[in-house]
Amino acid sequence: MPHTTLNFKENFVQLDNVTLKLKWINSAPEGAADRPILVFLHDSLGCIKLWRDFPEKLAMATGCTALVYDRQGYGESAPFTTLKRDHDYLEREADVLHNLLEQQQVKSAILFGHSDGGSIALLAAAKYSKLITGVITEGAHVFVEDVTLAGIRLAVAAYKETNLREKLMKYHQDKTDDVFNAWTETWLSEGYRNWNIELFLPALFCPVLVIQGEADEYGTLAQVEDIVQQVQGPANQLIIPKIGHTPHREAEVDVLQHSTDFINRLR
């Protein structure tokens, strides 16, 4: 691994009249300018800060520059424009990602997406293949399962009965209720039960690494199997025993090592 130093820059940008918070992790080894940018896509309750130092560690390990951002409604980005989500909201976020990459003049990106972010990564790679060199997903969904809905119902109970709301307010401030309700009310609605993005997978030709905890409380290994079997590019899977929905925190060493190997092979 080349000697690497990291520099950080946080800023706000206007994209389609929406203010988004960005964090750049600039890596400066030899040849870094020729490497793809790592782009991190957070989960349904996530934000820049909830990634903690994982993006820094992966940038350091690979010698790549990383971009982490808060989607609209999350973290320090602007609030949601509307509290009602259409069923194609993840596809729309893939469009936002494409516009952001173009605005920031990113010519080649490797997407690392967790949960909702993983689904967005798959959609973006299918729709905008010229910009996406590779995809790493964690706990991504391509269809709705009973276990997903059961996990969300448990989260709703925890939000009412524990200090989960207070914990999330440290990251989303006065947007917290909107963030939580947008996730739970959308996924638990009757109309969302038929949500499915498998039709996009055959349009995905870049290499993919699909990561999932064997005990993921929000999805079964059927999600992994469907992604690996239906994408057209080379696909590998990493199933980690005895962990849940957040592999990069629950099994950081394994995820870092496999992600680093995957990214280095792409180079």
Cβ atoms 119, 140 nearer than 8 A: yes
What is the per-residue pLDDT across 155-170, written as a single tens digit (0 to 9) for each? 999 999 999 999 999 9
Q: Give 119's contacts (C-beta < 8 A, 6+ positions apart).
A: 90, 113, 137, 140, 141, 142, 197
Residue 163 resides in a domain: no
pLDDT at 17: 96
Burial class (CB within 10 angstroms; exposed 0-12, middle 13-18, buried 19+) of 11? exposed
Q: Give 238's contacts (C-beta < 8 A, 6+ positions apart).
A: 209, 210, 211, 212, 247, 254, 255, 258
What is the pairing mode between strands 235-240 and 208-213?
A: parallel
Residue 183 resides in a domain: no
Coil/strand/helix, residue 125: helix
pLDDT at 166: 98
Cα–Cα distance measured from residue 40 to residue 245, given in angstroms and rounded to the nearest whole number: 16
Residue 56 has pLDDT above 90, yes or no: yes
Residue 189 resides in a domain: no
| Segment 223-233 mean pLDDT | 98
pLDDT at 255: 98
Cα–Cα distance measured from residue 61 to residue 247, given in angstroms and rounded to the nearest whole number: 17
Q: State percent of the chain over pLDDT 90.
A: 93
Residue 1 has pLDDT above 50, yes or no: no
Residue 191 resides in a domain: no
Residue 32 has pLDDT above 70, yes or no: no
Domain containing residue 62: CATH number? 3.40.50.1820
Residue 3 has pLDDT above 60, yes or no: no
Residue 215 resides in a domain: yes
Residue 139 has pLDDT above 70, yes or no: yes
Q: What's this model's pTM, rounded to 2 decimal places?
A: 0.96
Its domain, for residue 135, covers 6-143+196-266
| Segment 117-129 mean pLDDT | 98
Residue 115 resides in a domain: yes
Confidence category of residue 35, pLDDT binned at 50, 70, 90: confident
Confidence category of residue 4, pLDDT binned at 50, 70, 90: low
In the structure encoding, which two tokens stand for residue 62, read together?
A: 């690979």
Residue 60 has pLDDT above 80, yes or no: yes
Residue 187 resides in a domain: no
Question: How many domains, the chain?
Answer: 1
Q: What is the mean pLDDT of the chain?
A: 95
| Segment 240-258 mean pLDDT | 98
What is the per-residue pLDDT across 182-221, written as a single tens digit (0 to 9) for each? 999 999 999 999 999 999 999 999 999 999 999 999 999 9
Residue 166 resides in a domain: no
* Nearest by Cα to 125 from 210, 239, 22: 210
pLDDT at 83: 86
